[in-house]
Structures are given as C-alpha cells and as structure tokens.
Chain A
Amino acid sequence: MTGKTLYDKLWESHLVKDLDDGNSLIYIDLQYIHEVTSPQAFEGLRLAKRSPWRSEANMATPDHNVPTTTSERAQGVEGILDPVSKIQVKSLDANCTEFGINEFTIDDPRHGIVHVIGPEQGRTQPGMTIVCGDSHTSTHGALGALAHGIGTSEVEHVLATQCLQQSKAKNMLIKVNGELGRGVTAKDLVLAVIGKIGTAGGTGYTIEFGGDAIKALSIEGRMTVCNMAIEAGARAGIVAVDDKTIEYLKGRPFSPSAELWDQAEAAWRELHSDDDAYFDKIIELEAIDIEPQVSWGTSPEMVAAISKNIPDPAQMENDAKRGNYQQALAYMGLEANTPIQDIKIDRVFIGSCTNSRIEDLRAAAAVVKGHKVAESIKEAIVVPGSGLVKAQAVQEGLDKIFTEAGLQWREPGCSMCLAMNADQLGEEEHCASTSNRNFEGRQGFGGRTHLVSPAMAAAAAVAGHFVDVRDWT
C-alpha cells in the first residue's frame, strides 16, 4: 500500500462522512471572519433563525477596509471617514456581539490582517482545517493546517454546521531543491513557481511545498509561499510540520496549554507526507536558478527575473498568449524587451498578508537604512500586518529607519493591497508592491502593480526604478 500525503492525512482526519452524491462532509476546526465577506452570511443566519454551531470556533477582525492613517485610527470605529466602510466595520462588531464571536476590534492592540494575526496569536495550529471568506486563507497552510478560502454562502454554512460539503482535491508536490541565493526570498521563490506553472497550474490541487529550500525558510517565509498558492490556482498550500513549526507555536496566547502541549506536539509531529506517498503531480525547481522577481504584467504569472527584459509578445507560442501579453503591456504602459531594471516607480507599498510580518519589515528597513526615497517617488508607505508587528518594529527602531528614509509608517490593515480604503494608486501610476495581485485596477483604478519582495520594493523606493537587491550596498 502506498503511503499518504499530508493532505490525505488532513482530509481523512476531518472526514465526517462521505455523502451519496460523491461529495464529503468535512469538519472545520476554525473559521476566520472579516468585515467584507461576512455581513450577508450573518444576515442569512438571522433570516433562517439559525445560530452558530460552535461560536468559539470562529475568530473575527476588520481588516480589508480599515483606514491606516494614525489620525483616523486614533478614534477607533468612529474615526473611519468613509461612511460605507464604517457601516461595514460596525456591522461586523454588531454581528460578533450578537452571535458570541471573539473579535479583535479595530482598536484592539492585537488587531491586524486576519492572516497575520491568526498565526501570531497561535490560533492557527497544525492539523486543523481552517477556512475564511478570503482566498489568501491558504497562508495558514505554512503551519501544517489545511486552510482555504470560501465564498460567503460557505461562511454561513460553516457558521451553521461547522462543516463544508467538499470533494477532495488532487495532490501536487512542488519541491524546491538546494539553497536560495543571497538576497533571494520566499516571495521570489513563490513568484518564480507561479511564473513556471501559471495561474491555473494548481487548479484542482492542494499543493505541498517541500524540498530543502522550503525547509530552510522560516515559518514567516513559508507563510509568504503558501499565501500565494491561490495565485497558482490551488485553493490550499501546505508545508509539513518540523521543529520550526513547533518552536513557532510555543508560548503563543492560543497555543495548547501546558497540560495538553505534549499530546498536541506528538500529534503534530505526524503531520508530514509519508516517504512513499503518491502525488498526482510533482514539479521540481532548483533554488539556485531563482533570481529576485518582478511582475511586469496584469497576472501573477507575468513575472521576470530582475536581470531580464520584459518578454516580447511576438515570441509567444500561441495567439491566445500573445493577445494576453499585448493586453497586459498596453494596460501597464510598458514596451516589450525593456529591461526590468528600467521600469520606473511612482509609489511603493510594503504590506499585505503576503509580506507585512516582522521579518519583512526588517528586510525592507535593512535596505533603506541610511538612504532616502527617490525624489520621483510620490509616496512610499509601510503598513505592518498587525498591531503586534507594529509594536515589535517600533521596539527595534524600524519605524525610525523608515521615516528617516522618507517612507510613511502606517497603522495595520490590508491597505493598498486591494485599495478598499483611501490607500490607492492613481491612474497609470506604477507601484512596487509586496502584495500578491497585480490585476487591472487591483490597487486603484488604472493603477499598475509590480509584485516584488520587501527588499526589492525598498530598493526601488530609493532608486526610483527596479534594481537588483543582490547588488545593494
């Protein structure tokens, strides 16, 4: 008999029953909730006169449309200037109170982006099934949990039943061998993977990331990788549990208590694929081949290494791809064959659930330290992922490094990652962004996003265009 993959194990341990119609009922251990995709789910519960199956299995926070300026944030919910956003945040507060759900409200010091604060609080644990009405829920797979995004109807379904009706995905292994070069990060790794397999490459699969380069990443780096599994089309990305995972969880507020810790740890240590596990698809990459990446188009698969040029649509193998590339270049206002280093930047955004944790801020600060943001940059903002990340950064003096270099230091939230609040690109502005999506209009109407690592974004802020961070002194 062949062994089991980590995904097989997680699936089987949460299988309530197989249904007659080919789907299965899967138990969900934890649901994260935010203000944008939950109001209609709570409304549905109310209309059907249902109550949550297990309110304590949910945790909520408003993050998507909260403002990030200190003046607006000083007054909590009441300080939100946009009346529509304010209603949404207030609805979340009211719904959580009504249904008995633990919420980290906008003025709680532990508030932040849901995918940052969940792991930070030790709420995300190995072996769990986790969902959220947000596609980047895949982030939590970095800790050996099966985590994926769902729509609002399913948010309501999980609230009411603690289960989802699902069919099992296929298994994919992405193995990154060897060691990443100096200046090459988890973000570059995952962008390179998406560049290779495409944005639909993982559709229908759960992707396990493995190999020495993944093992060498910190838990935060693994979160960056799993975060973008959805950009490769996979609903979930996972990494096996190892010593780093266990270390990460020790002493976090919601980690198992001392009496239960040993039992939990023993169970977690089983959470890896068996040596003889069967994967439907295996993709291997050599870490040494990966350079710092920059996206040049309007889909995360449109990436190139910093040393390369923007590809030429004329060289594409088929009409469809040629058309896509032309459309993307027209939107981005870029010419084929331009060196990536010559792309000029108007704004810089360091933040989002992909890259707003303490390590990300440290990496960016190390680059800008002692430098000034280029004259040509209209605005560069740093948005920590949570209140606790912010506090840690302040303690380390990173905020000073940023502000002295001319970057703005903001309050936590999703911010310019999706630009639902006031943090937006203007039309035709190019942004070096550490977020995860470069779709048309994602960061503001007509805005042009380039996805990069925190260090690359910081270097672009100083230079005013992209530069190879490996040459940075």
Chain B
Amino acid sequence: MKKFIKEKGIVIPLDRANVDTDYIIPKQFLKSIKRTGFGKNLFDEARYLDKGLPDQDCSSRPINPDFVLNQARYAGGSILLARENFGCGSSREHAPWALEDYGIRCIIAPSFADIFFNNCFKNGLLPIVLDNNIVNSLFEETVPNEGYELEVDLTEQTILKADGSVIKFEIDCARKKSLLNGLDDISLTLLHADDIKNFEERWKQKSPWLFT
C-alpha cells in the first residue's frame, strides 16, 4: 500500500452533504475487473453533462463548468474538503480507488460513513474528521482564495495553514501506523496465524455445525 506521511496541496471544496459512493463513482464503471483507471470518472454525473460509459474517452465529453473539479483554479488539487457523512451508501472500494486515481490524498470532513472511512486506509488515503465549525471556516477560507493550500502532516497529526496556524486532528494509532509505513494488512494478520488456528480449533469444538 502507498504510504502517507505528508501532503501539501490545493484544497478542493465540495460543498454538499451526504455525498454517496454512487455520486463518487457511478455503477456503470464498477464493471471493470481492475483497480486502476477510475480517476477520469470520479464524480462522473456531476462532472460531465452526458451519461458516461465505461471505457469511453472522456477528453471529448461535455463538461459541467459549474462543477468544482472543472474549475481551473482547483486543477491538481490533492486535498478534498467535504461535508458531513461523506462516502455513505455502497461499500464499493472503487470510490477510494477513483479518488486516489484522480490524485486526491486526503479528505477533510466533519464525518464519514463507516465503510468508506475504513476503505480509505486500505488505499493510502487519509480521511480526517474535524469539528463542523473548523470545516466551515476552511470552506470560507478556500472559496475566495485562489490557490489555497494546506499541508497535512500525519506524523504530527497537524494541518498547517498558509498563515502559519495549525489545526490538530485525531487518528487511531493502528491506522496511523499502517498509513505511515504503507503496511500490508494481510501480512500483518498472518503474523497471528497460530492464534487464528487455535481460535478455530476451540470454535470448532463449540460450534461443530459451522465446520461441516
């Protein structure tokens, strides 16, 4: 997995609550059997004016000029600023894959849906939960200031603003460790293979019908 240590980048404000995973990546793109290539269809229905099809060349599609990703000032942005309950809906990991493929490394919101939140960490993406008031003020600062950047430092758990002020954020230590080191969860779990086997033996004694 890709490591996340520090990220400095342009902030893209997506001012919409309850952004669901269908909105992040519509279902027609889920037919792919690969993990990559979803970035061009990130937020497809909001970003383009026509209906997107898998394997289509997106460069000639009509774009929605009002949508934030289509505004030149946010080009190359890597930090997504969002509203509450971001990533609700389906469990599709294609949502973090699409964000990551587009170039987003960090998402800041007052709250996230559980499964999406969890999926981010499997893909080197850092979702940060901040108090609603702080998120509000970040929106207020981002929108009028072209080129507004933040610098996220995972080791220190800080977000540095251009004016030098710092916002602290919380993250659970297991997740922090695996992002910082880009660890592979499966190998980590397999270090406990003997414990799993022992558990399985005990569980089989207790619930033999589950093992027939």
- Using a CB–CB distance below 8 Å, which chain A residues touch chain B? 14, 16-17, 19, 21-23, 25, 27, 29, 36-37, 39-40, 43, 48, 50, 53, 64-65, 82, 84-85, 87-88, 91, 125, 127-128, 133-135, 148-154, 156-157, 160-163, 165, 167, 199-200, 203-204, 233, 235, 256-257, 260-261, 263-264, 267, 299, 320, 323-324, 327, 418-420, 437, 439-442, 445-446
Contacts and interface: CB of A to CB of B under 8 A. Distances in A.
Contacts of A162: 196, 200
Given A27-B196, A162-B200, A149 B115 contact: yes
B156 interface: no
Dominant secondary structure of chain A at its interface with chain B: loop
Contact of A88 (B33, B92, B113): B33
Interface of B: 16-18, 20, 22-23, 26-28, 30-35, 45, 51, 54-55, 83-85, 88-93, 96, 111, 113-115, 118-119, 122-123, 172-174, 177, 185-186, 188-190, 192-193, 195-196, 199-200, 203, 206-210, 212
A439 B113 CA distance: 15
Contacts of B27: 418-420, 442
B189 A135 contact: no
Nearest to A87: B33
Given A154-B118, A161-B196, 5 more contacts: A16-B199, A17-B192, A21-B172, A203-B85, A233-B85
Contacts of B35: 40, 43, 152
A22 B45 contact: no
A200 B195 contact: no
A39 B203 CA distance: 30
A260 B208 contact: yes
A332 B34 CA distance: 34
B207 A267 contact: yes
A38 to B, nearest CB: 9
A68 B88 CA distance: 28
B23 A161 contact: no
B122 A151 contact: yes
B208 A263 contact: yes
B192 A25 contact: yes
A299 B22 CA distance: 12
A430 to B, nearest CB: 18
A153 B185 contact: yes
Contacts of A445: 26, 45, 51
B186 A199 contact: no
B196 A163 contact: yes
A25 B189 contact: yes
A21 B172 CA distance: 8
A257 B188 CA distance: 37
Nearest to B208: A260
Given A203-B113, A324-B18, A437-B89, A36 B31 contact: yes
Given A19-B174, A257-B212, A50 B186 contact: yes
A440 B55 CA distance: 22
A37 B22 CA distance: 14
Contact of A161 (B18, B34, B190): B190
B208 A420 contact: no
24 contacts: A16-B199, A17-B199, A21-B173, A21-B174, A27-B199, A53-B196, A87-B33, A88-B33, A153-B93, A153-B122, A154-B118, A161-B196, A167-B172, A235-B115, A256-B209, A257-B209, A264-B209, A267-B207, A437-B20, A439-B22, A441-B23, A441-B26, A441-B45, A442-B27
Contacts of B23: 439-441
A441 B33 CA distance: 22
A53 B90 CA distance: 26
B114 A233 contact: yes
Contacts of A442: 22, 27
Given A151-B93, A165-B185, A437-B22, A420 B30 contact: yes
